[in-house]
Chains A and B, each alone.
Chain A
């Protein structure tokens, strides 16, 4: 990381030197990024799911991920974890774009607000935060949390100006410490959010742009056209035909960023409150077996993904090669299981859908149809899938799981009785609960990996999470962006690091 910064500094200096213009904190040029989900909120602590690219320009988190996934201090400078006590030293001389100083008081207020709102799942382990001294933040945990610093790399660690927290319109008026500030006047709701340099930024050399725009283009083809015509410099894609077209286009590049989007079906109603069949593990296993993942990948994801049977991807420390193929496509066996189950005649259930998942769900509906299960696809507004999935509106749902996420979040999302995506409050099995607890006892991945292997195997056995395919995070860029040396993709995230980003020439 340090090395990289040095290099980039040299390049920046060279570029400026060649241009012969005086160094300016204002930056120059515009960079335009396109986001595939619609903007729901710019309040980091109310944000769930995707849409982080809208937040990154204005908000900085205490830590960020380095190129290899390591935690690197950003608004923090160093940290120590001692059992349930986390102590974080904060960077001095930082202020929010509204002029308020950034200090331990402000940071504590942020963490406490995040805990209170309860949407950021990583903060569920936090009891409370307080200022130890002006620049020392103390966080008290409820339980051992090996991933607390990782949490602070993302929305959980993003710092909002204290006075802005009271603003009911915080969802459209972000006030943070980031290199850019949101320009409400120039932004157009539902179309583009515009950011301009933050005059009070603490590290002015890292402001390389005069303007940064995040376009909201949910339509894949429209986003592709925008990239082709130069209306945008980069954008994110799921593994869909448009991404395949980008991959094949000579003047565009498809960046496969680290981290993977593991597409999976969640049987929320696994105790059978609404759909009794879901309580039968045989039914769930049959569903897992009925999916032809290779064909799914080829037809729906254009071969850009790999089939998946566990939450992690190849290369992740928790990945267990032994689980490969546990639910290899076998429709006969699936039918057999259905016949043996208490629901040999099949059943019907509702599944929420957003347009980008529509083909995936139609394919799944086709697979399930083969074993007598009718899945009704119910559209919900794009951007609300995660929120609706946390309600009892649907007995099952479908989401993506980012494979770089710490495995402990599996428990927080799906396993615990009060897990975010356990709206029916299903009781976890003893085995799962024990493994989830055990995974938290160490911060060492070597110690944790075997535990999470077991947990993945147990999950596969219970089959209420049906993993389908794992696709890398895909960012489509123009040739100019591909050659721009200042473009750094955030580790495991569908966004570009704005610190030091300069416009394409």
Chain B
């Protein structure tokens, strides 16, 4: 579901998992309810305190008592005993209807899936027709043919529910047949049939199990409903539905009669459904994911978390639009503990300037952009530092004020233009919406401005394109639209998060040119986030290199490329593909960026650094004046490199 290709730490709610303990508890509870049910069904004759049909009219409709734990019904029969015998009918009903559904649906589904052609067409049309009639009505019609009664009603339900098994089996056959034929190069023979069969059985089992649990729950509810309206189990036999039927007649006199059978139905169906959910989840996981990659590693030592004041703040720039100082961001991991993803981050950008924020996946560069906007999401928060935009600390603003700032003073362009535009609305209307709500333009004014903007970002026939939906535009064009929207309120800061990564190389260049052009015209500051040093070099005035949540080096673009000072920067540069070479870059830095929470306690690069010494074992500050670097060995390494 997630579309951010960056493998950033979990910044928001991805998926709600039952914690293992909760799911075990549910399985245990639901399982024991069902075991109890089957137990009662089998041993009803021994367990029930009374004969379920034995009436005592003198003791009719009594409340719960020591003799009758759940009281007596309208004929003085023991409610508890009837409830226990009701278990038997429930189990019988569920087993009967579900088996019929499986035995009828699966073979027929396999057959038509295998046979195809007319058989398939006709059966599927009939299934469609049956499915388009409300289920209860189908059951009622079948009961009209067969007659009322438990077994006949269950045959009716079996036929009804066989449609879903039929479709399931057919679907599996079609999918597998495709695969087998592809693999065996479309040679049809007896061996293929065997292969087909061999493939079908393992593949049909998991969905079949899931479908069975769904069906059992539905059968129980349907049986109760049919018995309730008098078409299922016939009185005086005790089924939960018939018990409710007679309870309904005496609602005015003794409403309690409706409670025990109702609770029995709910508990049973609930248990079946919950168990089904768990089975579905586990089967789903088993098939789709394999090993859970989100296993938490050892926890980050929090001693470093609060080290914001460690590095001196860089000197203010002239005409500074944004100034970030000592920023720290934490996100909560899967186990609920918070881990830092950005620490001790300080930088500034001035008007008309482009700062490139470069780093590998997981370095925290995208989070930096989002934290400026206050959009880290529910799982994360900024804990230290300040983000001053046009003289105001954004961290001190109320959510309302921040909303005001977004769009007007700062805007963002995202990596994938096709997903950052809402697929449900025309692109023009999405820009117009911003203009109307942020700038108070009328619908008409907004629209003409939209056309202007679209024209300005270099899209031909802007009138027409404004009415297009995102999926009707090419990636490059969509990114132009996203840029137009971001600039619609003339923000003083534009954050561009990998805006060209998802685009073709030729289009990339055009978009970069567009940024430059627009900056020339609008004069905004740009924070350009990218993993691609070449792009950064192309567009940026200065470059800041991020590694494992902190800045390791910052310099004017030429200086950085000419003389990288941090070992990591150096590694990045040497891994850069040569403009003329088509070969992929050689990985010259061993290992991977450590995940948040498992950063080394000293220099975070120390486990990959070829120059690491014992001194690198403690936190390293970011030092320097015109250019900054976070490496205690930088001066000596530079000398070495120069020599």
Contact = CB atoms under 8 A, between A and B. Distances in A.
Asked whether any CB of A lies within 8 Å of a CB of B in the complex, the reply is yes
Interface of A: 220-221, 224, 241-242, 245, 292, 295-296, 298-300, 355, 358-359, 361-363, 365-367, 369-370, 376-379
B58 A377 contact: no
B56 to A, nearest CB: 8
15 contacts: A242-B252, A245-B252, A298-B58, A298-B60, A299-B74, A299-B76, A300-B57, A300-B75, A358-B249, A359-B249, A361-B235, A362-B74, A366-B53, A379-B230, A379-B234
Given A242-B252, A366-B55, A377 B236 contact: yes
B67 interface: no
B230 A376 contact: no
A215 to B, nearest CB: 20
B234 A292 contact: no
A366 B54 contact: yes
B136 interface: no
A370 B250 CA distance: 25
A241 B54 CA distance: 22
A483 B620 CA distance: 101
Contact of B57 (A358, A363, A378): A363
A366 B252 CA distance: 24
Interface in B51-80: 53-58, 60-61, 74-77
Interface string B21-63: 0000000000000000000000000000000011111101100
A363 B54 CA distance: 10
* Shortest 9 CB-CB contacts between residues of A and residues of B: A295-B57, A366-B55, A299-B57, A299-B60, A365-B236, A362-B236, A379-B230, A369-B53, A363-B75
Contacts of B246: 358-359, 362
B148 interface: yes
Contact of B249 (A220, A299, A366): A220
Size range of the chain B interface in the assembly: 20 to 34
Nearest to B234: A377
A430 B553 CA distance: 122
Nearest to B148: A379
Contacts of A220: 249
A295 B53 contact: no
B642 interface: no
B251 interface: yes
B55 to A, nearest CB: 3
A245 B251 CA distance: 12
A366 B251 contact: no
Contacts of B75: 299-300, 359, 362-363, 366
A504 B468 CA distance: 70
Interface in B212-263: 230, 234-236, 246, 249-253
Given A241-B253, A358-B235, A369-B54, 16 more contacts: A220-B249, A221-B249, A224-B252, A241-B250, A245-B253, A298-B57, A299-B74, A299-B76, A359-B74, A359-B75, A362-B246, A365-B235, A366-B77, A377-B235, A377-B236, A378-B234
A350 B292 CA distance: 61
A370 B55 CA distance: 9
A366 B58 contact: no
A425 to B, nearest CB: 26
A220 B252 CA distance: 11
A118 B230 CA distance: 33
A362 B235 contact: yes
A365 B57 CA distance: 12
Contacts of B58: 295, 298-299
A378 B60 CA distance: 23
Contacts of A361: 235
A245 B253 CA distance: 9
B155 to A, nearest CB: 18
Nearest to A300: B57
Nearest to A363: B75
Nearest to A362: B236
A9 to B, nearest CB: 42
Nearest to A353: B235
Contacts of A300: 57, 74-75
A292 B56 CA distance: 10
A365 B237 CA distance: 10
Contacts of A241: 249-250, 252-253
A472 B249 CA distance: 22
Q: Which of B77, B236, B252 has the most CB of A within 10 A?
A: B236
Nearest to B147: A378
Nearest to A295: B57
Nearest to B53: A369
Contacts of B53: 365-366, 369
A355 B54 CA distance: 21
Nearest to B77: A366
A147 B246 CA distance: 41
B248 to A, nearest CB: 8
A355 B55 CA distance: 19
Contacts of A221: 249, 251-252
B77 A355 contact: no
Contacts of A363: 55, 57, 75
A370 B54 CA distance: 8
Nearest to B74: A359
A109 to B, nearest CB: 39
Contacts of B61: 299
A376 B61 CA distance: 23
Nearest to A378: B234
In the complex, which of the residues A220, A241, A298, A367 has the most CB atoms of chain B within 10 Å of its own CB atom? A241
A292 B230 contact: no
A241 B253 CA distance: 8
Contacts of A359: 74-75, 246, 249
Contacts of A379: 148, 230, 234
